Amino acid sequence: MFFVACMFFTWTALALPPNIVHFVIDDLGYFDLGYKNGVVQTPQLDQLVKEGIQLTSYYTFKVCAPARASILTGRYPWSIGYYNVGGTNEGVNLSFSLLPELLKPANYSTVAIGKWHVGALLQSYTPTFRGFDYYFGYYAAATKSYWYHGGEVGGCSGTDFSNNTGTQVGGALGENGTYSTHAFTNYAVTKIKTHDKNNPLYMYLAYQATHDAAGSGIQAPLTTVDQYPFIINDTYKVQAATLTELDWGISNVTSALKQAGMWNNTVIVVTSDNGGPLPHTYNWPLRGGKHTYWEGGIRGEAFVYSELLPVSVRGKKWDGMVHTSDWYTTFVEGLAELSLPSNTGPRPVDGMNIWPALMTGGVSPRNEVISQVQNDYWNDTQVIRSGVFKLLIGNPGDSNRIPFPALSKQPVAFGKSGGIVEPGTGHATGPGMSDGPYNKTLCTKSPCLFNLKDDITESHDLAADPQYAPLIKNLTKRLENVAKSAMPFAKIFRDSKEFKAAKEAICKIIDQTGFVEPADVPLGPTPPPTPLGPTPPPTPVPIPPECETAMEKICPHSKYPDETTCRKCCHTNKSDLTSDGCKPKHFNAYCTFTRN
């Protein structure tokens, strides 16, 4: 009896495990954020990285679905059958326990928002059947529009936007016409406001930004695009605007956490899912981009912010090696202080707990990342980093390095280089750009070895130097050995007839409801999507009274009646406004939301 009482006292006396908010940014380039390029306006993200810990050796996969599967399973993508992007029949095998399931013993409320992309042909593969309490987002790799959320399965088109709670799966009504960054942000803010503070929160927020809309291009509101008159190319104007909208969203989420009294016990993690695609992002100074095994394709942007981090480690770069699979173990063991179950799937966990190293600025527990193997299922490139050395065997992909472009000295209007605006709306689309001549000559005829500590641009191949022959032999043997433990392709249906039947069932659901939902969702009286409408404005960032007073005095709406001239005035008088407590995010709120 005494033992039970002591145990009860211990658990109730302890503070709650920290809230965890993981922002996954789709197709974010290594050089895309403002704190690196000095052009794109991302003040909230810049602040988080400058006051947090920047992970300079963060490794993910070259494309999106395998990286997301890795986060949620704690394994290398290839080890769970994700060798590449495999289409609608691809899904994380149900024998694996996903991350939110493992947080439940610590009473976490679990919310998934945005892109899923790890299986949705059957309900059992969708978020709320795999550990999440709530899901609000789309199942596929991308939708056809940031506003209208179109998707396709089996040749049938519908709205790929779901709002699921527990076993109740169905379409998200009333969202067609809403810019996805706004929709996801507003849902996240609502969930934070209504969260039961007696339990910790795990929020997996995977924005559509900055992936292009399927079949068109990158998209953003024209009013935000017009904030970038000196960027010459329309695609890059929209890319920058998409990031500014994303930054607005993250700012609103962090503000909601503060207003809810949750900020001081929250860990914020921001990561890209893969390297940025060369047609509309920048990975400078890295070589290559999305779809490649060069550093620009697999080394991603990542940083961590929390009031729980000691002051001594904040505002620092940490070069410890990290892999996407490490969040699984770090969140469960490092933050929730739970023990990983002995069996979370048919293959051991690859992820490591990096939280102790982050708290001290110490050495990473990881000294190796195996990005790809070759076996009976995959006969292509092999990639491993061990210590400072990286070995590439096979074709790594396009080896181009593209620097951030120079700005124009004069304003350039949107629409001069292929950008379009949807008639009757402010919906701007920047077409994809050519990334230049495809360079596929490097490392294709023989293995390449690089010392990444001295050569992050992968410009000096060491493979021909005899002194490295033993290292290359050992790393090659390592790749051969681990490849034997990899799983077959992560298919939901092995039988083609079953796969066909599932697609036909989804087509029937689309015909009746208008929404793309799993094949085994019961058909019922779900109404069709609401008609398309204008993009609702985002929720404004609160403006401190003294700041608003100063802006009204220096940049009155009577003199600067439109958003563009208002913002220009604010930025011109930035030093004066800053002294009155204003920040760049307040400029946007004042110019957008307070006009009569």
Residues in the chain where the model's pLDDT stays below 50: 1-13, 526-540, 593-596
- Which residues, 6+ apart, have CB-to-CB distance to 168 below 8 Å? 128
**Residue at a domain's end among 366, 384, 403:** 366
What's the pLDDT score for residue 86? 87
Any domain includes 386: no
Residue 396: asked if its preceding bond is cis (omega within 30°), the reply is: no
Tens of pLDDT along 526-566? 444 444 444 444 444 567 777 877 888 888 877 776 666 77
Tokens of 130: 């795999």
Query: Is 178 within a domain?
Result: yes
Domain boundary among 340, 366, 392: 366
Please give the pLDDT value at position 584. Answer: 67
- What would the DSSP string read from start to end of 162-214? EEEETTB--B-TT-TTS-HHHHHHHHHHHHHHT--TTS-EEEEEE--TTSPPT
Determine the pLDDT at residue 525: 52
What range defines the domain where residue 569 resides? Answer: 545-593
Q: How far from 178 is each of 184, 209, 538, CA to CA, in Å?
A: 10, 14, 10
What's phi and psi for 431, nearest 5 deg?
-65, 155
Q: What pLDDT score was predicted for residue 226?
A: 97
Q: Could you tell me the pTM of the whole model?
A: 0.86
Tell me phi and psi for residue 169, to 5 degrees.
-115, 130
Q: C-alpha distances in angstroms, 266 versus 46, 136, 360, 540, 541?
A: 18, 21, 18, 23, 20
Active site amino acids: 64, 117
Domain boundary among 341, 366, 391: 366
Domain presence at residue 307: yes
> 204 lies in a domain?
yes
pLDDT of amino acid 345: 97
Which residue is associated with the tokens 């051991």? Answer: 348
Domain count, the chain: 2
Within a domain: residue 185? yes
**pLDDT value at residue 7:** 32
- The residues that bridge with 431 in the sheet, in sequence order, are 217
Question: Is 332 a domain residue?
Answer: yes
Mind listing the pLDDT tens digit for each residue in 167-226?
A: 999 999 999 999 999 999 999 999 999 999 999 999 999 999 999 998 789 999 999 999
Q: Looking at residue 44, which CATH number applies to its domain?
A: 3.40.720.10
Is 13 contained in some domain? no
473 assigned to some structural domain: no
First to last CA, the chain: 67
